[in-house]
Chains A and B, each alone.
Chain A
């Protein structure tokens, strides 16, 4: 018996772009021409089902809608239309995003864990392990704003992987940090994957996707071009690009 973990039903995600600046009251009221409004269809009618045991690699060129789709599944972006159903709250591993710039790395770890819903006791139990995983050493007590982009990514990644999710979404998180950390990150993701029901992976490395995934989804212009066993989809993707 296989169980459904994610059901995506005719999902559209539109972005409204204001070419001038963020919508002001005047623009909202006047609207129409000259307000610089454009609608971008990042995800344009995507439907599929994912099951426990699926490790799905998302393929497609830049701007094809992979990350937006992933963020929609994570509940961080609301679909303009269509429906996404999940069996458990998905956890997205991303490298973007800033936490509290003025606070130290350590405090950011604590806040991030609490934001994910850990209790103070759970946090106390895990915090050393997370600090250790970041490999930031003394820098952990420096303000987040002094970190390089690689260090920031490592910190965020380490927070994200501290909880074992049932549905795991990984957005380019494997490209984090230096080579040492990358290896560590890969091992960690593989172990999370071993216990996770379902994995979605966005990566620019086809090799990585092929190794970690058993199913492929190829997106282009917000639409699914191919869905099937990873080797077949990669073969098609490779032929076309």
Chain B
């Protein structure tokens, strides 16, 4: 090794304020950095929504059709064939709300799992807080949910229920639901980045959730017989989150204790997911 004369003798070197790019910053600074790039976090999903489905004839209308068709199938199977809808008031609307709300969680979490892999190009080209990737994924799904919500509103009016004062609580419900979805996405994103097999496992997990969160039949119908199973199923915050929508929109019953638990759980999942995701911050996009 050849080292030539040091052009900068040690004595007059000023090395104030050097920092490492691989050292994790405080959560506060990290969140501030995300906030600074909020336009980026929002433009990413908007851009994607615009360019998605451009190759299909009906384009973005599929965002609306997809859950409507699912709800129709569930109505046929659970309402007509199995007859579980009999004990539920307003079963069709009850079902539509459940399907739409559940689909938001399912698409956000499965999209979140794939989000890091899908943004490799951006992450290799630019340095930004990686949490923006699952956040913008969640925002994107929330935006399409906004359009889908118009269908729910239309159904509500069609069945003659119409708006009530409870509707004012909708933003709070959506906020809670989003906290849960985002926390779940953070966890799925990190797991999927470490083990690509997660991508195959997540759909099974989501399918299990679909049948245990009271999307197409009330959880009490099948799980109510055993007290322990009943509690385990109903302590899942998603059961209560879906129920919040029904409580607000069509006046379903609310279990105060479990609802409070769901509120705490949702924010705990967000908090845990965020920390869990950040542990691997400097590994995303580098594999």
Contacts and interface: CB of A to CB of B under 8 A. Distances in A.
Is B one of A's binding partners? yes
Interface of A: 1-4, 7, 22-26, 28, 49, 51, 74-79, 83-87, 89-90, 94, 96-100, 102-103, 107, 110-112, 114-117, 119-120, 123, 143, 156, 215, 223-229, 232, 236
Contacts of A51: 7-8, 13
B19 A85 contact: yes
A102 B19 CA distance: 37
Contact of B51 (A85, A99, A103): A103
A38 to B, nearest CB: 15
Contacts of B12: 1-2
Given A75-B21, A119-B39, A120-B39, A89 B127 contact: yes
A102 B286 CA distance: 23
A229 B15 CA distance: 22
State the main secondary structure of chain B at its contact with A: loop
Interface of B: 1-5, 7-8, 12-22, 36-37, 39-40, 43-44, 47-48, 51-52, 54, 121-122, 124-128, 194-197, 282-283, 285-287
Contacts of A143: 51
28 contacts: A2-B12, A3-B13, A4-B13, A7-B18, A24-B195, A25-B197, A76-B124, A85-B19, A85-B20, A89-B127, A96-B124, A97-B121, A97-B122, A97-B125, A99-B122, A100-B47, A100-B121, A102-B51, A111-B47, A111-B122, A114-B40, A116-B126, A117-B36, A215-B7, A228-B5, A229-B4, A229-B7, A236-B2
Contacts of A114: 37, 39-40, 43
A55 to B, nearest CB: 12
Contacts of A25: 195, 197
B3 to A, nearest CB: 6
B196 A23 contact: yes
A219 to B, nearest CB: 11
B51 A83 contact: no
The secondary structure that dominates the A interface is mixed
Contact of A94 (B4, B40, B125, B283): B125
A74 B51 CA distance: 31
A1 B3 contact: no
A97 B12 CA distance: 40
Contacts of B16: 3
Given A78-B282, A115-B40, A117-B128, A227 B122 contact: no
Nearest to B3: A227
